[in-house]
């Protein structure tokens, strides 16, 4: 949504672009405005999936208010339960495979960078688990299963959520 807003040249997209061009992180206020702008589009009228948002408690409160203002709510919040050490191992493996194939290694395929992202996750995003658990919308999926199993679990959560289970 962020890239799309920037590319579309919307007012909030222009604000985001200025922040990104300065090498800074886009604020919760700007991200929230982009989400609000996007969920007002006609293709979201029957529902939508937010991937990677909200990431903070401030954003969670904002999306709750946005949806309340529209007489809507979240049907489910999906938590992918993973093993941190296994994820670091996957990154090392992916980087090694890319190097062995003579391909460039992604900038974020670095255990140190990933571990810093994990620390940020635990500081800012992990509190959302309790937040949504308390609201009764949290659903956990085994993110360490194979892709087909994870997909099946997510589809089941979405089916149940849209049926009101």
Q: Which segments are annotated as binding site?
A: 3, 24-26, 52-55, 59, 94, 106, 117, 145
d(CA 137, CA 116): 28
Which residues contribute to the annotated binding site for ATP? 94, 145
Assign 142 to helix, strand or coil.
Answer: strand
Strand partners, 142: 81
Buried b vs exposed e over 71-104: b needs ≥16 C-beta within 10 Å? Answer: eeeebbbbeeeeeeeebeeebeeebeeeeeeeee
Strand partners, 78: 139
Q: Take residue 64 and report the two structure tokens written for it.
A: 């709750």
Which residues contribute to the annotated binding site for AMP? 3, 24-26, 52-55, 59, 106, 117
Strand partners, 125: none
Long-range interactions of 8-12: CB distance < 8 A, separation 24+: 10/37, 12/37
């Amino acid at each position: 949504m962020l890239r799309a807003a920037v590319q579309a040249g919307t007012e909030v997209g222009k604000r985001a672009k200025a922040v990104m061009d300065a090498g800074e992180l886009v604020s919760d206020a700007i991200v929230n405005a982009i989400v609000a702008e996007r969920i007002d589009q006609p293709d979201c009228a029957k529902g939508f999936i937010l991937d990677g948002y909200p990431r903070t408690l401030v954003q969670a409160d904002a999306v709750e208010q946005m949806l309340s203002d529209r007489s809507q709510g979240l049907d489910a919040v999906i938590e992918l339960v993973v093993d941190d050490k296994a994820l670091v191992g996957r990154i090392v493996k992916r980087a090694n495979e890319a190097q062995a194939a003579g391909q460039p290694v992604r900038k974020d395929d670095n255990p140190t960078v990933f571990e810093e992202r994990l620390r940020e996750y635990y500081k800012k995003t992990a509190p959302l688990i309790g937040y949504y658990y308390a609201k009764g919308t949290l659903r956990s999926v085994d993110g360490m299963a194979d892709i087909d199993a994870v997909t099946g679990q997510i589809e089941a959560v979405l089916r149940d959520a849209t049926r009101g289970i």
